[in-house]
């Protein structure tokens, strides 16, 4: 298909009418068939924009003046929404966000999976779409000679000093401010990316949503934490009821947050939380779903789609710390979980023990290598559950699923595009996609999770 040449110039001001939203939440307007993506505009809106960038088949523009507003437009609740890149949809009503996310899943089912007849249900949203995150991690820097902590400004490494984030648990906001203040009072210098000097890189707060337990994590460049005892005493004084204070050391020049060395400065190595009736131990570096309320909704849907009677053998590929596996183990005969991160597998085994679950077995390795080895050992799953990273399932894993022919495949996805691509592969290999259920795990942002169930034809 020929790319449309831009009928406009960079820097030109043009009048546009927005017809659609991209999966990143940008408004889409067309000028003589040439698409322009505009941050902050919604379908049905008209206005004047300035062209900022032109590519071969599409361009970008910034809003200068809004003329006709969408009825779904709302005033963002957050004072730094325009500067911060953490949320993208606070200017869109929650009903509008649900519609956008539904359309995102429906469109890829039609366009990529070529499954126009497969039912996509309405998005399962939140009653209270704020303050849902149980983990906050923010960079620390210097501004005007004082320590600041907050998210980066859009497209920059400049930190916005913020006292609250409306999608984080209130306790996280308080903890981050208190930890930052205690460190500042004890002469701890922030890390400087340019010079690779200074001490404090990030502060992280974790909250047990059901248990109320609190963990503060100080991520430092150096092994040594200056005035360590005074800092521990200060955090304990300023954050009543804190369960755990942890230091993680990351000495590298990198934008990866965590280093490999972690030590507990006070209290426990972990905090505990529950999802449904399953209890989890969460360490500083554990992967644990950040929205526990919607995680339960998502996992209950996965469990329903697995259709377990107590007689089934289930494989959970990409099992993490065993969250889905342990949900499934309550209703299955035997669950096998595989995950590439050895630390996560250790956590999964501990979590099984913590819950007295004896019918879940965990192994570290690549799903596409471990699962064929299990097949050779005679393990024949009735159900395979996959919950892959954003890039979707490895090709070799999809081939393995087609070879093993489980009765059902339950696919939990954080990226509708790769979900649709993989469903097409499984469909071509003899499966039928029965239905897809989107779940809103991240209100105010463009992300949507979905769970699909496939049956062997």
Backbone angles phi, psi at 272, to 5 degrees: -115, 150
- pLDDT value of position 153: 87
- pLDDT value of position 1: 52
Extended beta strands in 284-382, E state: 313-317, 334-339, 360-364
CA distance 326 to 348: 9
- The total of other beta-carbon atoms located within 10 Å of residue 403's CB is 11
- The total of other beta-carbon atoms located within 10 Å of residue 51's CB is 20
319 is known as an active-site residue: no
* pTM, 2 dp: 0.93
CA distance 33 to 57: 10
Q: C-alpha angle 426/431/433, rounded to 5°?
A: 90
Angle, to 10 degrees, between the axis of helix 170-185 and the axis of helix 228-238? 150
Q: Which helix (H) or strand (E) holds 96?
A: helix 94-111
CA distances to 67, 347, 383 from 325, in Å: 51, 12, 12
Domains of the chain: 13-68 (2.40.50.140), 99-127+291-456 (3.40.50.150), 135-275 (2.40.50.1070)
Q: Is the Cα torsion angle 249, 253, 254, 255 positive or negative in sign? A: positive
- The total of other beta-carbon atoms located within 10 Å of residue 192's CB is 13
Query: Pairing relation of β-strands 244-249 and 261-267?
Result: antiparallel
CA distance 411 to 39: 32
Query: Pairing relation of β-strands 449-456 and 408-413?
Result: antiparallel
Question: Are the beta carbons of 349 and 340 closer than 8 angstroms?
Answer: no
Tokens in use for 365? 């390795």
| Among the listed residues 318, 333, 330, the one whose alpha carbon sits nearest the alpha carbon of residue 380 | 333
SS3 (DSSP) at 63: strand
- pLDDT value of position 214: 98
Tokens in use for 412? 């939990």
Which residue has 């597998």 as its token pair? 345
- pLDDT value of position 2: 62
SS3 (DSSP) at 172: helix
Per-residue pLDDT of the chain (457 residues; tens, 9 = 90+): 567 788 999 999 999 999 999 999 999 999 999 999 999 999 999 999 999 999 999 999 999 999 999 999 999 999 999 898 889 999 999 999 999 999 999 999 999 999 999 999 999 999 999 999 999 999 999 988 889 999 888 888 889 888 899 999 999 999 999 999 999 999 999 999 999 999 999 999 999 999 999 999 999 999 999 999 999 999 999 999 999 999 999 999 999 999 999 999 999 999 999 999 999 999 999 889 999 999 999 999 999 999 999 999 999 999 999 999 999 999 999 999 999 999 999 999 999 999 999 999 999 999 999 999 999 999 999 999 999 999 999 999 999 999 999 999 999 999 999 999 999 999 999 999 999 999 999 999 999 999 999 999 9
- The alpha-helical segments, DSSP class H, found in 6-93 are none
Question: Are the beta carbons of 312 and 382 closer than 8 angstroms?
Answer: yes
DSSP assigned state of 228: H
The catalytic residue among 78, 165, 393, 414 is: 414
| Among the listed residues 132, 159, 91, 17, the one whose alpha carbon sits nearest the alpha carbon of residue 446 | 91
Query: Pairing relation of β-strands 214-220 and 244-249?
Result: parallel
| Among the listed residues 111, 113, 106, the one whose alpha carbon sits nearest the alpha carbon of residue 432 | 113
Give burial (CB, 10 Å; 0-12/13-18/19+) of 255: exposed
According to DSSP, the residues that pair with 245 across neighbouring strands are 216, 266
Question: Are the beta carbons of 59 and 36 closer than 8 angstroms?
Answer: yes
**Helix, strand, coil % (nearest 5) of the chain?**
25, 30, 45
- The total of other beta-carbon atoms located within 10 Å of residue 309's CB is 9
Which residue has 């007849």 as its token pair? 117
Query: Pairing relation of β-strands 261-267 and 270-275?
Result: unpaired
């Amino acid at each position: 298909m020929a790319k449309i040449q831009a009928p406009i110039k960079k820097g030109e001001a043009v009048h546009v009418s927005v017809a659609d939203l991209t999966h990143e939440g940008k408004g889409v307007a067309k000028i003589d068939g040439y698409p322009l993506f505009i941050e902050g505009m919604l379908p049905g809106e008209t206005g004047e924009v300035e062209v900022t960038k032109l590519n071969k088949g599409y361009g970008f523009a910034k809003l200068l003046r809004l003329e006709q507003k969408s009825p779904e437009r709302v005033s963002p609740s957050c004072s730094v929404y325009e500067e911060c890149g953490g949320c993208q949809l606070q200017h869109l009503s929650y009903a509008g966000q649900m519609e956008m996310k539904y359309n995102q899943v429906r469109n890829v089912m039609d366009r990529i999976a070529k499954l126009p007849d497969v039912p996509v249900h309405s998005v399962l949203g939140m009653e209270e779409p704020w303050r849902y995150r149980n983990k906050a991690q923010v960079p620390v820097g210097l501004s005007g000679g004082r320590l600041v902590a907050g998210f980066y400004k859009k497209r920059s490494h400049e930190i916005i000093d913020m006292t609250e984030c409306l999608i984080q648990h209130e306790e996280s906001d308080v903890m981050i401010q208190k930890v930052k203040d205690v460190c500042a009072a004890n002469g701890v210098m922030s890390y400087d990316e340019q010079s690779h000097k200074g001490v404090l890189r990030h502060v992280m707060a974790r909250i047990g949503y059901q248990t109320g337990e609190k963990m503060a994590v100080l991520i430092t460049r150096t092994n040594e934490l200056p005035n360590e005892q005074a800092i521990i005493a200060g955090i304990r004084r300023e954050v009543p009821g804190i369960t755990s204070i942890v230091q993680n050391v990351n000495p590298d020049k990198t934008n990866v947050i965590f280093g490999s060395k972690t030590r507990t400065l006070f209290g426990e190595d972990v905090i505990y939380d529950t999802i449904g009736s399953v209890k989890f131990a969460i360490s500083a570096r554990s992967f644990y779903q950040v929205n526990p309320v919607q995680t339960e909704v998502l996992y209950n849907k996965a469990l329903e789609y697995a259709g377990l009677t107590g007689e089934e053998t289930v494989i959970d590929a990409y099992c993490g710390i065993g969250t889905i596996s342990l949900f499934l183990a309550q209703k299955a005969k035997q669950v096998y979980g595989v995950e590439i991160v050895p630390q996560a597998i250790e956590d999964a085994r501990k979590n099984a023990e913590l819950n007295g679950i004896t019918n879940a077995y965990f192994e570290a390795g690549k799903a596409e290598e471990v699962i064929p080895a299990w097949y050779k050992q005679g393990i024949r799953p009735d159900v395979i559950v996959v919950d892959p990273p954003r890039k979707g399932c490895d090709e070799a894993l999809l081939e393995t699923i087609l070879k093993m022919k489980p009765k059902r495949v339950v696919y939990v996805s954080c990226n509708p595009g790769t979900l649709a691509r993989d469903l097409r592969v499984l469909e071509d290999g003899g499966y039928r996609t029965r239905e897809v259920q989107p779940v809103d795990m991240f209100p105010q942002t463009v992300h949507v999770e979905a769970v699909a169930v496939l049956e062997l034809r």
